[in-house]
Structure 1
Amino acid sequence: MRSQHEPQVFSAVIKHSQMEGEFLHEMSNTYLINKTSLKDITWENLCIPEMLIYGMRIIGFPSLQKETYENWISINNQTYLLTPFITNPQVTLISEEEFDKLGDKSGYRWSIFYTLSRPGFSQDLSQALIQITAHCPAGPPQYGSLLYLESTGEQWEVKSSYGLYNQ
Structure 2
Amino acid sequence: MTGPRICLLGHSGAGKSTTAGLIHAALAARQISCAVVKVAAPLYELQHSFYARLGEPLPPGQQDQQLLEATAGWIRARRPMFLVEDFLARAAATHADALVNDDIRSYDIDYPELRARGWTAVRISTHGDLRAKRLAAQGYVSLSDASTAGVETVDVDHEICNDGALDELAAAVHELIDGMLRC
Mark yes or no: TM-score above 0.5.
no
Q: Which has the higher strand share?
A: 1
- Bin for the TM-score computed over the shorter chain: under 0.3
Greater relative contact order (CA < 8 Å, ≥ 6 in sequence): 2
Normalising by structure 2, what TM-score?
Answer: 0.26
Normalising by structure 1, what TM-score?
Answer: 0.28
